[in-house]
Amino acid sequence: MSDKNSDVCLAHLVWAPLGSGPLERFLTSCARHPAGIEHRLAVICNGFSGADDPRLNAIARALAGIEHELVLTPRPVVDLAAYRQAATELEAGTICFLNSYSRPLADRWLSKLLHPLADPAVGLVGASASFESAYSSAPFWLRPLRRRMFGPFPSPHVRTNGFAIDRRLLLDLKWPPIDSKVSALAFEGGHASLTQQVRERGLDVMVVGADGIAYPAARWRESATFRAGGQRNLLIADNRTDQYEQADPRMRLRLEQMAWG
């Protein structure tokens, strides 16, 4: 899985309260679906009490025989804050971040995801995206509080469950304090989101499906990767895509409308 000399780093998040189960499912999926490109594996351990936390023993057992680097957050933080710390510590040209629930669904998945970044005009790629607005989807009483951070629907953004970006570009973006679920939502899909900042630099943002095709924002719904088209073209699954898969037709329609209108 890993190549210590590779300029590509795959950074997978482990959230302590979930135990080793999600990591084991991720590693099983990786064994079933080869990445298709040389890379290093970094495991971001978030929510552990330190290097002596006994819960790390299960993580070490899951990773036995797999070359990897370890990033340990000093305290429990939201996912994006953990990614920011990892980006400062990991020497790599390109980093692909996956959250705790993420797992690949197709062979050569990492190669497919990273391929559009070979084009200098592309700054960010993701395995799924949405037009959902945390302002428009909020209850009416909450909207005045969210207006400052979020715009109305549509709010095109790559979902941060699985995305890849040049490390230098990522570190050069404006990172506000991300210390709550709302602030994380804002960095994912708000006025100054990851996607928006990359687009403001004149760079394209793409979604890549299991078919290996890179879809621009106008075709994200058509890509059938998130809450549309039965997600038949999904490259990387997570708990939100699982929610759609397991929903009844009525709930599926509601979720699709939230994402795409």
| Span 21-59, pLDDT tens digits | 999 999 999 999 999 999 999 999 999 999 999 999 999
Domain membership flag for residue 103: yes
Domain membership flag for residue 2: no
Domain membership flag for residue 3: no
Domain membership flag for residue 102: yes
CATH number at residue 240: 3.90.550
Can you tell me the distance from the alpha carbon of 125 to that of 90, in angstroms, rounded to the nearest whole number? 19
* The total number of structural domains that make up the chain: 1
Domain of residue 96, residue span: 8-260
Domain membership flag for residue 184: yes
pLDDT of residue 3: 55
Phi then psi for residue 110, to 5 deg, are: -75, -40
Domain membership flag for residue 1: no
Q: What's the whole-model pTM score?
A: 0.96
Domain membership flag for residue 106: yes
Domain membership flag for residue 245: yes
pLDDT of residue 2: 52
Can you tell me the distance from the alpha carbon of 20 to that of 23, in angstroms, rounded to the nearest whole number? 5
Q: What residues in the chain have per-residue pLDDT under 70?
A: 1-5
